[in-house]
Amino acid sequence: MPLEFITYSLINGPPEWARSNFMRMVYIVATAGFLVLLKKFCSGQTNTSERPMNGKVVMITGGTTGVGARVANDLAKRGAQIVLLTHVPPSDPFLAEYIQDLRDKYDNQLIYAEQVDLTSLHSIRKFATKWIDNAPPRRLDMIVLCAATLTPPGKERVITEDGIEETWMVNYLANFHLLAILSPALRAQPFDRDVRILVATCSSYIRSPSLKEPVDESTWSPTVAYARSKLALTTFGHAYQKHLDSYKRPDGFPVTTRVVFVDPGFCRTAGMRRWLTKGTLTGLVLYVLGYFVPWMLLKSPEQGAQSFYYAAMDGDILRGGGGKLIKECREVDFARPEVKDEEVAKKLWEESDALIEKMEKAASKRRAAKKKEEELLAVKREDKDKSDDTASLRSLKKSKSRDKSSKDKKRDKDKDEDRKKDRSKSEKSKSSSSSSWSSSRRKSKKTDS
């Protein structure tokens, strides 16, 4: 059909309907071409690097949804051992089903989950200390930090149980706390092992206020909180790389752990949807009705994960040290020099350490008070149970004594009735004997007369 149309047009010229609608067809073709090019541009670059991942141990936060889930899927497909740090326990039915699906899909049984609540400093310390408390040190080839949260625009700030603002806690302080405790495990890896820490960042750090400026409730907003947490995470990542490089191994070899920052771009993840809809049902309805716009302009989670694949597998990325930023599968420069400011990083590190120490002490006191209260409640419960048992035993004894007394009374009554019956029988026998005697007397008197 197209060949016949082209042949006819070349011989006889375009048909009448084509000549009359020529401009309209030009607009349609131009619009379609523009949309195709726009979609291709917004989809980003595709990773072409490859590296064997069989047997490598990869720890992932945020690996059950969004970009983190795609990274977990890809690494599981390549045979890596995946350790998912999740908010819910491994016994959760949805998480258990998700892990089993990954195992069955990629025929990889080396996938499991550990419960780590990133809003709780105690939960992070509990997991990390258990991980490093092992001899010899456990193998660890890669840490992928994808977990993040945000407060929708117009919503109130959320405070965790430790008394820390949620965005700051999950996006920055949880990663700081986790990496600080895992530092001995990372430094103890063999010198010939390629260890990478992939840190998810975002271009929002560019418009963040300086970390030198304090943020309080009056200046807080969801946008500022998210941007500031990403700026703090990026600044800490550079300081952490220097912290690792300054360590002198006993064997004299350098530390081969490298921190790599990854910007996946704007993706259609749950967090982005929550931001666009402002966390409201009305916003969700509008998002669904106008889904073509985010579909056209935003990446899918798989497209956003391409830069993570590149950072995880490219062999040349580690040349020249760590602290590199990967965006669209290539190395780019940081837009703010503050992320490499040593004074800012030192102050941020000290303040974070002091905040964690303060909050953990307060949380420890709360746990001790709660435990004491539970013990008191348990003692009271035991005393109550004992008193209930004593009361039930007393009531049982009383009921038994009542039953015994009632039985004794019944027995006595039966005995009295038996006595009465015997007495009546004896009286009757006596009366009958006396009557028989009197009748015999009368008969004898008659006979005598």
**Reduced to 3 states, what is the DSSP secondary structure of residue 96?**
helix
Q: What is the DSSP letter of 299?
A: B
**Reduced to 3 states, what is the DSSP secondary structure of residue 268?**
coil
Whether 409 sits among the annotated catalytic residues: the reply is no
| CB-CB contact of 139 with 57 (8 Å) | yes
Question: How many whole angstroms from its chain centre is CA 94?
Answer: 11
Residue 203's Cβ-side half-sphere holds a number of Cα atoms within 13 Å equal to: 9
Beta bridge mates, 257 = 195
Beta bridge mates, 330 = 327
d(Cα 139, Cα 160) in Å, to the nearest integer?
32
Q: What is the DSSP letter of 141?
A: -
d(Cα 53, Cα 106) in Å, to the nearest integer?
13
d(Cα 417, Cα 407) in Å, to the nearest integer?
15
d(Cα 42, Cα 300) in Å, to the nearest integer?
10
Q: What is the DSSP letter of 205?
A: G
Q: Which of 197, 193, 203, 194 is closest to 236 using CA atoms?
A: 197
Question: 56, 126, 230, 278: which one is catalytic?
Answer: 230
Could you give the residue numbers annotated as active site?
230
